[in-house]
Structure 1
Amino acid sequence: MPGWDWRRRQCEAERMDDPNLAESAHRQALRELARLNRWGLAVWHLWPKLSGLARRLGRSLRILDLATGGGDIPIALAKRAARRGWQWQVAGCDVSPTAIAYACEQAQKHQVAVEFFVCDVLRENWPGDWDVVMCSLFLHHLREERAVALMQRMGEAGRHLVLISDLERLPVHYGLVWLATRLLCRSPVVRADGPISVRAAYSISEVRRLAQAAWGSGFRLRRRPPARWLLVKG
């Protein structure tokens, strides 16, 4: 059991956000975060909502992933869509040039046409016209007022759908993430940041309160194993 009061968020700086982080350490962390996203079933959680929307609209989707990091989630979604004959327009943005350079390399490696660009999503406009705006493992970085402001902007920019996924702050999830970062990862950055992220994460009731402040109603919030929640608007 972690020695902290899990009923309250405990926010501290993550190593990944250090502007002085060595590029080699940053790239290693991005590779291993992709592995953790696979373990955390990130794409599996998102796919039913996206594929359902594609069938309803009967056309290609335009999807923007905010704070995309190494881009593994939009790349995986684009690959899965292509296997079904859907040519989606998928893009990802991040404040880190290192992360975007890595994501572009991964898109080329996997032979998918995903566009990545540098953007501070909290301070800059998001170019483009999007059916879906989403983010994963980003909300826990933000104070409540910034989280609400981001969610409001996502609701305005996502014409048909908003998807937000993150960790849920619970002791059992702290233990799961601590163990996963030790078993699946060698990066000191990921091993440090994983547990920090759980301590900073929002609880289900806190997420519901944020969504009500941002949108009022018209959203759905569900737990998703092994340690996340998924918030859906649209």
Structure 2
Amino acid sequence: MHRRDAALSMTLRTRDEHLRELMDDPLCAPARLRRTLQRFGIVNRAVSSWGRVYENRIRPVLADAAKPACVLDIGCGGGDVLRRVVKRARQDGFSIEGLGIDPNPGALAVANEPRRALAAVSFRLAYSHDLVADGASFDIVMSNHLLHHLDADALPRLLSDSEHLATRISLHSDIARGRLA
């Protein structure tokens, strides 16, 4: 491997905590953020493995969970992953309720679009620590492509909150770093 290639590979495998994604910028144009979030359903189906995660990790928990099972999606964005999991669980005959939380009002506006509505799935403007303070609990706590948005202080807090909120399992999926990704 050439020195330049090694340096490039190193930067792709390592997260630069000082960079901020455009969607995290408070000055991000609302229309641009909305369009991005509306497309995440397509992106997540292509690059995330929530179908497999559902089969291998979520469905077994639902089989033993109280009825209805409660699922929390932290940093839900437009809500596509939560709706997908809940819809799949219902197809399998499970009684399930889902709550998606996100601190970004623009994300919640997309999640709450009437054309995206799914019964027993709701969305709330909140952080995970708000739910911990409320004494909330969920059978399953999950997040999708959230961790890389967090700084070094927020990541352990989120994981601690997840541990407090989840009565059964906590699942966090994030982007892969590397040359191929």
Change (3 A) 1:88 1:27: same
SS of match in other structure, 1:160: strand
Q: Equivalent residues in 2 for 1:78-117 (5 A)?
A: 78-105=86-113, 108-117=115-124
- What residue in structure 1 maps to residue 8 of structure 2? 3
Question: Which whole-Å CA distance do the structure 1 matches of 2:119 and 2:175 have between them?
Answer: 28
- What residue in structure 2 maps to residue 185 of structure 1? none
- What residue in structure 2 maps to residue 149 of structure 1? 157
SS of match in other structure, 2:143: strand
Q: Equivalent residues in 2 for 1:110-149 (5 A)?
A: 110-121=117-128, 124-126=130-132, 127=134, 128-149=136-157
Unpaired runs of 5+ in structure 2?
none
> How far off is 1:15 after superposition?
0.5
Q: What amino acid does structure 1 have at the position aligned with 2:80?
A: D
Is residue 38 of structure 1 aligned with residue 45 of structure 2?
yes
Question: Which whole-Å CA distance do the structure 1 matches of 2:118 and 2:160 have between them?
Answer: 34
> How far off is 1:141 after superposition?
1.6
* Identical pairs, percent: 26
TM-score (structure 2 length as normaliser): 0.84
Q: CA RMSD in A?
A: 2.1
Q: Alignment length, in residue pairs?
A: 171
Which of 81, 103, 109 lines up with 1:73 in the alignment? 81
Is residue 18 of structure 1 aligned with residue 25 of structure 2?
yes
Question: Which whole-Å CA distance do the structure 2 matches of 1:57 and 1:114 have between them?
Answer: 18
> How far off is 1:101 after superposition?
1.6
Could you tell me whether the CA contact under 8 Å between 2:9 and 2:178 is conserved in 1? no
- What residue in structure 1 maps to residue 60 of structure 2? 52
SS of match in other structure, 1:172: coil
Could you tell me whether the CA contact under 8 Å between 2:96 and 2:120 is conserved in 1? no
> How far off is 1:110 after superposition?
4.8
Is residue 160 of structure 1 aligned with residue 177 of structure 2?
no
> How far off is 1:70 after superposition?
0.3
1:164-223 deviation digits (Å, cap 9, x = unpaired): 1101221111xxxxxxxxxxxxxxxxxxxxxxxxxxxxxxxxxxxxxxxxxxxxxxxxxx
1:7-57 deviation digits (Å, cap 9, x = unpaired): 532231111012222221111000222211000133214202111111123
SS of match in other structure, 1:167: coil
TM-score (structure 1 length as normaliser): 0.66
Change (3 A) 1:67 1:58: closer
Unpaired runs of 5+ in structure 1?
174-234
Question: Which whole-Å CA distance do the structure 2 matches of 1:56 and 1:111 have between them?
Answer: 23
Change (3 A) 1:10 1:51: same
**TM superposition outliers: structure 1 runs of 4+ over 6 Å:** none
Change (3 A) 1:160 1:95: same
Q: Equivalent residues in 2 for 1:197-208 (5 A)?
A: none
